[in-house]
């Protein structure tokens, strides 16, 4: 392996690991503030931070998307995925919610047929059936305990898949930084609106009162770490190539397992571990066939 490939892998590995660290920080806020408000604040901070950086680096012209409706769709999909995922990790073990989100590349491959008019290969159907079996094993304890709430990571995976399809449609229409700004700027208003609606429902868990300073600080930390992680993944991709670094995304699950055990005393049972391994195996099988690639969890 070339030195440049090796350094690209290590850089991307660090980026993917940092994403799971951010997820663990989000989980520490469970019960302290509405998950909708946490998501809204995290993305509002991130959008402002990225917009300032884009202005400094590329100027005002970088803020003019060629297809604003597609950019808005990307932001909406990210908002839905974030709401579902943040809500899930508030009530579910971190590793199990993380494992389920890795269905995103498989769903993307399946949807590429009806949405992008691409031919869905038999390998994709095989990987999908394999992953479905893994999902059933991971969901087994949570579905019995939490009910439909346990399906939130699957909704997040679906929304993430739709965003990846939209990403294909806008590929090459701006710099990587401007693409981050557009999607964050699209997600933030939708998340703020969702937080307002959640507060109006009267559900105690969705009340948006004035948060403790530590909640605000943690949201800011996640905004910075997530942006840093995405930059590291991009840098690793430029050095080693997307196909080379793609399997590194699964380090997120390993980090989530470790942090869940250390910080929250979440110990998945054997069947959950088997189900997670099956989902990972299905994604890697799909990647080796060239029909898709693992995608990092959004933050």
Number of domains in the chain: 1
Has residue 198 been placed in a domain?
A: yes
Has residue 177 been placed in a domain?
A: yes
- CA gap 116, 109 in Å, rounded: 10
Has residue 297 been placed in a domain?
A: no
Has residue 32 been placed in a domain?
A: yes
Count, in order, helices (H) and strands (E) of the chain.
12, 0
pLDDT (tens digit, 9 = 90+) per residue, 238-283?
Answer: 787 766 777 778 888 889 999 999 999 998 888 888 988 998 888 8
Q: At what angle are helices 94-101 and 122-146 packed, to 10 degrees?
A: 150
How many residues in the chain? 299
Domain carrying residue 278: 3-288
Has residue 257 been placed in a domain?
A: yes
pLDDT (tens digit, 9 = 90+) per residue, 100-138?
Answer: 888 887 888 788 777 767 677 787 788 888 888 888 888
pTM to 2 decimals?
A: 0.87
Has residue 298 been placed in a domain?
A: no
Has residue 296 been placed in a domain?
A: no
Has residue 280 been placed in a domain?
A: yes
pLDDT band, very low/low/confident/very high, at 181 (cuts 50, 70, 90)? very high
């Amino acid at each position: 392996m070339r030195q440049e490939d090796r350094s690209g892998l290590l850089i991307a590995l660090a980026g993917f690991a940092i994403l799971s660290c951010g997820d663990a920080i989000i989980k520490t806020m469970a019960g302290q503030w509405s998950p909708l408000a946490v998501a809204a604040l995290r993305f509002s901070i991130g959008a402002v931070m990225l917009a300032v950086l884009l202005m400094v680096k590329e100027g005002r012209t970088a803020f003019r998307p060629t297809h604003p409706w597609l950019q808005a769709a990307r932001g909406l999909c990210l908002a839905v995925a974030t709401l579902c995922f943040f809500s899930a990790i508030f009530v579910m073990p971190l590793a199990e919610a993380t494992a389920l989100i890795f269905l995103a590349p498989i769903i993307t491959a399946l949807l590429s047929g009806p949405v992008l008019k691409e031919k869905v290969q038999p390998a994709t159907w095989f990987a999908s059936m394999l992953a479905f079996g893994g999902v059933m094993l991971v969901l087994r304890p949570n579905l019995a305990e939490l009910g439909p709430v346990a399906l939130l990571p699957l909704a997040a995976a679906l929304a993430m898949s739709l965003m990846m399809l939209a990403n294909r449609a806008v590929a090459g229409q701006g710099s990587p930084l401007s693409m981050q700004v557009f999607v964050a700027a699209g997600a933030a208003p939708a998340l703020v609106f969702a937080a307002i609606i959640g507060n109006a429902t009267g559900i105690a868990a969705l009340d948006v009162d004035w948060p403790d300073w530590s909640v605000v600080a943690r949201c800011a930390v996640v905004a910075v770490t997530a942006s840093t992680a995405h930059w590291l993944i991009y840098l690793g991709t430029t050095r080693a190539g997307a196909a080379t670094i793609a399997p590194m995304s699964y380090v997120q699950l390993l980090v989530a397992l470790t942090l869940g055990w250390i910080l929250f005393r979440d110990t998945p049972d054997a069947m959950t571990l088997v189900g997670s391994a099956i989902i990972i195996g299905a994604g890697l099988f799909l990647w080796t066939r060239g029909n898709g690639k693992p995608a990092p969890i959004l933050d």
